[in-house]
């Protein structure tokens, strides 16, 4: 692309076009101020799109505008028409998107949002990286060539390991081109780098259960052991806990699954680990057992929401644990009798002690 921007009205090849300025009406509701270059390019875009011109120079124009504002979905749509109508080399297009995405990812975070600071939904709304991602998907689908895709996604994930669009695009690529085999080793690596990467855990679940081969019982047992190891490493990591429960929920035998979870929790409790997920899992196990009519083997658990306790089973010692946990996280949570929740009512019925006993702790905590 040119180093300096030459206004379109100074370019010889555009002399036959009369630019159409944005007409916001005499008293516009929303006035938009543009930079002069952008305004210039957009005026010419309006002119050529009004007569649906499908030409090389129109393609160049979309390249120019997308470079300035990649969120402009109307331009992308026009560009797709152009690519097909002009029968352009789609590999070159892919290179263009690559460059755009990488450039953006470093400087403007348009295709994805690099900093851990930026919540991606805002990006979705504000700068619409889904447009670029979708455009790429269309191009790759047409090319029927995935050779560039996984390295490209890996590049993006290296910059931002939780990039939502990159992960969902990855799922499309591996499904569409049957590239399942390398996924688990790749995920092992990512989880070594960051065991709290929820995107990686989610993708792992996708690979295990949506892949072409159904996971065997043996494989799942290994997977459970793998996850337990990761939980021991970081007992307060909700991603690995959710994954463990997710796998166990797929088990054909719920009783065994509960036993596995219960004994794992017991093991962690014996090593004096304080974890909200551990305590909450005990409630889940007990609830599941109670639902099956087994109320004899109550585990000690407590489920603490951010606004207070939402489930409790076992002895008051548990409440002390919960209190410890909250001190650990330095979130002062108010214990209050659970109200109006199915979980709580289940547990009020099946616990031996009343939840109201928590009153004394409430005064100590807050």
Partner 1 sequence: MDRPQAGGHKPHGIARGPWRRQRQTTHVPPPTGQIPLYQLEQRNRPDVTQLSSVTLVILSHRSLWMDRSERTSSAKPPSQVKNGTNGTMTSLPATLLSDLHVQYIKSLDTIVPPSEFALLASRPEFTGIWPLQKKDDLEYWLTEHLRVNGVYWGLTALDLMNNIDALERDQVIKYLQDCQHENGGFGGHLNHDPHLLYTLSAIQILVTYDRLDAIDVDKVVSYVRSLQLPDGSFSGDEWGEIDIRFCYCAISCMSLLKRLDAIDVPRTVEFVVRCKNYDGGFGSQPGSESHAAMVFCGVGALAIVNALHHVDADLLGWWLCERQLGNGGLNGRPQKLEDVCYSWWVLSALSILGRVHWINKEKLISFILSAQDTEAGGIADRPGDMADVFHTLFGVAGLSLLGYPGLKSVDPVYCMPKHVIQRVGLAERYRV
Residues 192-251 interacting with partner 1 (rule: CB under 8 A)? 193-199, 202-203, 205-206, 210, 232-239, 242-243, 245-247, 249
Measured from the CB atom, the residue of 108 and 320 that comes closer to partner 1 is 108
What's the DSSP call for residue 236?
Answer: T
Count the site residues for partner 1 by CB under 8 A. 111
Q: Which of 51, 88, 106, 303 is catalytic?
A: 106
Query: Torsions phi, psi of 296, nearest 5?
Result: -80, -40
Position of tokens 């606004």? 307
Closest distance of CB 169 from partner 1, Å: 10
Q: If binding is defined by CB under 8 A, does position 263 make contact with partner 1?
A: no
Measured from the CB atom, the residue of 271 and 363 that comes closer to partner 1 is 271
Measured from the CB atom, the residue of 127 and 156 that comes closer to partner 1 is 127
C-alpha span between 259 and 265 (Å, rounded): 10
For residue 9, the tally of other CB atoms under 10 A from its CB is 13
Measured from the CB atom, the residue of 94 and 333 that comes closer to partner 1 is 333
Enumerate the β-bridge partners of residue 106: none
Of the candidate residues 17, 47, 48, 123, the single one contacting partner 1 (CB under 8 A): 123
Closest distance of CB 292 from partner 1, Å: 16
Identify which range of 9-17, 22-30, 144-152, 257-265 contacts partner 1 by CB under 8 A: 22-30
Q: If binding is defined by CB under 8 A, does position 109 make contact with partner 1?
A: yes
Six-digit token string for 120? 């991606």
Of the candidate residues 57, 88, 134, 353, the single one contacting partner 1 (CB under 8 A): 134
Identify which range of 119-127, 217-225, 256-264, 348-356 contacts partner 1 by CB under 8 A: 119-127
Closest distance of CB 63 from partner 1, Å: 9
Q: For residues 305-364, which are near partner 1 according to CB under 8 A?
A: 305-308, 310, 328-334, 339-343
Identify which range of 87-95, 123-131, 313-321, 350-358 contacts partner 1 by CB under 8 A: 123-131
Q: Which residues of 177-186 are buried (b: 16+ CB within 10 A; e: fewer)?
A: eeeeeebbeb
Measured from the CB atom, the residue of 61 and 131 that comes closer to partner 1 is 131
Of the candidate residues 127, 166, 190, 268, the single one contacting partner 1 (CB under 8 A): 127
C-alpha span between 100 and 118 (Å, rounded): 20
Q: If binding is defined by CB under 8 A, does position 295 make contact with partner 1?
A: no
Identify which range of 36-44, 145-153, 252-260, 354-362 contacts partner 1 by CB under 8 A: 36-44
Q: For residues 151-170, which are near partner 1 according to CB under 8 A?
A: 161-162, 164, 167-168
Catalytic residue flag (residue 106): yes
Q: For residues 46-105, which are near partner 1 according to CB under 8 A?
A: 46, 64, 67-69, 71-74, 76-77, 80, 99-100, 103
CA distances (Å), 105 to each of 26, 36, 66, 99, 112, in order?
39, 25, 15, 10, 6
* Helix boundaries (H) for 197-350: 198-210, 217-233, 238-249, 254-270, 276-291, 316-329, 342-350
What's the DSSP call for residue 10?
Answer: G
Closest distance of CB 16 from partner 1, Å: 21
C-alpha span between 256 and 259 (Å, rounded): 5
C-alpha span between 186 and 171 (Å, rounded): 13
Contact 57, 13 (CB under 8 A): yes
Of the candidate residues 16, 18, 32, 216, the single one contacting partner 1 (CB under 8 A): 32
Enumerate the β-bridge partners of residue 308: 305
Q: If binding is defined by CB under 8 A, does position 186 make contact with partner 1?
A: no
C-alpha span between 114 and 262 (Å, rounded): 39
Closest distance of CB 96 from partner 1, Å: 9
C-alpha span between 290 and 298 (Å, rounded): 9
| Three-class SS state of 288 | helix
C-alpha span between 156 and 150 (Å, rounded): 10
Element housing 313 (H / E):
strand 308-313
Supply the residues annotated as catalytic: 106
């Amino acid at each position: 692309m040119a180093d300096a921007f030459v206004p379109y009205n100074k370019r010889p090849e555009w002399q036959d076009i009369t630019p159409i300025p944005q007409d916001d009406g005499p008293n516009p509701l929303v006035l938009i101020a543009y930079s002069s270059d952008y305004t210039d390019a957009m005026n010419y875009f309006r002119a050529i799109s009004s007569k649906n011109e499908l030409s090389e120079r129109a393609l160049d124009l979309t390249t120019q505008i997308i470079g300035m504002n990649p969120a402009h979905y109307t331009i992308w749509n026009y560009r797709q028409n152009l690519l097909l109508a002009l029968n352009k080399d789609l590999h070159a297009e892919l290179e263009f998107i690559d460059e755009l995405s990488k450039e953006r990812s470093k400087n403007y975070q348009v295709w994805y949002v690099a900093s851990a600071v930026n919540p991606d939904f805002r990006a979705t709304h504000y700068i619409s990286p889904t447009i670029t991602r979708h455009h790429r998907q269309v191009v790759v689908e047409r090319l029927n060539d995935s050779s560039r895709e996984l390295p490209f996604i890996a590049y993006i994930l290296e910059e931002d390991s939780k990039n939502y669009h990159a992960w969902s695009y990855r799922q499309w690529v591996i499904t569409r081109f049957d590239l399942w085999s390398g996924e688990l080793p790749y995920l092992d690596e990512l989880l070594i780098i960051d065991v709290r990467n929820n995107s990686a855990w989610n993708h792992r679940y996708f690979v295990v259960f949506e892949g072409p081969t159904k996971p065997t019982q043996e494989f799942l047992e290994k997977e459970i052991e793998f996850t337990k190891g990761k939980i021991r490493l970081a007992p307060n990591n909700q991603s690995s806990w959710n994954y463990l429960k997710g796998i166990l929920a797929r088990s054909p035998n719920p009783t065994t699954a509960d036993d596995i979870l219960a004994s794992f929790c017991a093991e962690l409790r014996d090593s004096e680990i304080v974890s909200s997920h551990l305590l909450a899992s005990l409630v889940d196990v007990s609830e599941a057992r109670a639902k099956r009519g087994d109320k004899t083997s109550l585990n000690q658990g407590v489920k603490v929401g951010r606004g207070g306790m939402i489930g409790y089973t076992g002895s008051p010692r548990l409440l002390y644990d919960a209190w410890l946990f909250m001190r650990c996280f330095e979130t002062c949570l108010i214990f209050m009798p659970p109200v109006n929740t199915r979980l709580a009512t289940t547990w009020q019925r099946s616990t031996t002690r009343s939840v109201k006993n928590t009153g004394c702790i409430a005064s100590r905590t807050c």
